[in-house]
């Protein structure tokens, strides 16, 4: 079995697929547009300590499979986390995987030597027997312009954006270190110190509401952070500005309308697309989609 497999996207879906293929004896290559791994398993490094600015937690079994821990403080159900941050889970999953970073794939083609990938710098990676697109559904659709049936299958998938506000304090702010549910234009505020394995200074991740995020999607990050900080201070009664303020926009943050199946594929089963958007809004959905695509690739390889 000498299948040459490319995976576009080093988030939870892509890494889960890559791990299964690697364990089955293949050596997939993963192309990731960012410097880091994990997609929404993201942690911002600051002078005041790490701040998880993507998914605050994942299902416990997902985290434990990636060497994580359990967070069960407060009224919320137990969730899995990485220590010191969520990106640790992705780094653990990516160990031993051939990940080519800072490469943006812009097209998928079919050549006499197999499938090819065009990247933003103008080059081409060719000769793949199978390609897995493990990216958000709008990005997958853009790469599937020549695969009409696949593009039509995911046309009704809907993902919503999310703005996050990142805060850090040199000294205690006086705020409760519990997860806070907040009114519009905010939604949730998560103190890093509520998670196990955290020391040092007080840090927060504040989620804007879906409605506010969608309405202000094209703001620059500094303007969005400024508006959200004002709302946070007014809602919580915080006195005095934080020592660290940052913002991050997740254009495709949450799944609002999933595909309803683990992935879509072309007729030959050599080009596949999936992600959490295929099954639902949980990290476990991303894992399930990635593993299902890996199984399909292995089935084709063994014929």
pLDDT score at 78: 86
pLDDT score at 220: 97
CATH number belonging to the domain at 44-81+159-257, selected among 3.40.50.620, 3.40.1110.10, 3.90.660.10, 3.30.565.10: 3.90.660.10
CATH class of 5-42+86-157+259-301: alpha beta
Cis peptide before 185 (omega within 30 of 0): yes
Looking at residues 137-154, what average pLDDT do you find?
A: 95
pLDDT score at 25: 94
Domain boundaries, the chain: 5-42+86-157+259-301, 44-81+159-257
| pTM for the structure as a whole | 0.94
pLDDT score at 270: 95
Query: What would the 3-class secondary structure string for 259-303 be?
Result: CCCCCEECCCCCEEECCHHHHCCCHHHHHHHHHHHHHHHHHHHCC
């Amino acid at each position: 079995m000498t299948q040459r497999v490319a995976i576009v996207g080093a988030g939870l879906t892509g890494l889960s697929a890559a791990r299964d293929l690697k364990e089955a004896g293949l050596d997939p290559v993963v192309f990731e547009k960012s410097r880091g791994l994990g997609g929404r398993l993201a942690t911002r490094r600051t002078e005041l300590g790490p701040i998880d600015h993507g998914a605050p937690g994942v299902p416990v079994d997902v985290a434990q499979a990636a060497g994580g821990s359990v967070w069960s403080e407060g009224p919320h159900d137990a969730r899995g986390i990485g220590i010191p941050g969520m990106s640790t889970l992705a780094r653990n999953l990516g160990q031993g995987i051939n990940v080519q970073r800072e490469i943006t794939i812009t097209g998928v083609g079919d050549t006499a030597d197999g499938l090819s990938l065009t990247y933003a710098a103008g080059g081409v990676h060719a000769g793949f027997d199978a390609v897995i697109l493990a990216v958000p559904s709008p990005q997958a659709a853009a790469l599937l312009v020549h695969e009409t049936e696949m593009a039509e299958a995911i046309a009704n998938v809907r993902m919503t954006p999310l703005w996050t506000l990142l805060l850090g304090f040199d000294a205690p702010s006086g705020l409760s270190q519990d997860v806070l549910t907040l009114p519009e234009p905010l939604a949730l505020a998560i103190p890093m110190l509520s998670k196990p394995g955290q020391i040092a200074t007080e840090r927060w991740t504040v989620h804007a509401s879906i409605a506010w995020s969608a309405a202000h999607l094209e703001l620059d990050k500094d303007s969005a952070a400024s508006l959200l900080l004002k709302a946070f201070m007014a809602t919580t009664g915080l006195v005095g500005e934080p020592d660290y303020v940052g913002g991050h926009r997740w254009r495709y943050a949450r799944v609002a309308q999933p595909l309803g199946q683990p992935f879509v594929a072309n007729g030959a089963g050599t080009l596949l697309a999936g992600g959490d958007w295929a099954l639902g809004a949980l990290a476990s959905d991303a894992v399930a989609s990635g593993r299902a695509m890996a199984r399909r690739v292995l089935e084709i390889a063994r014929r």
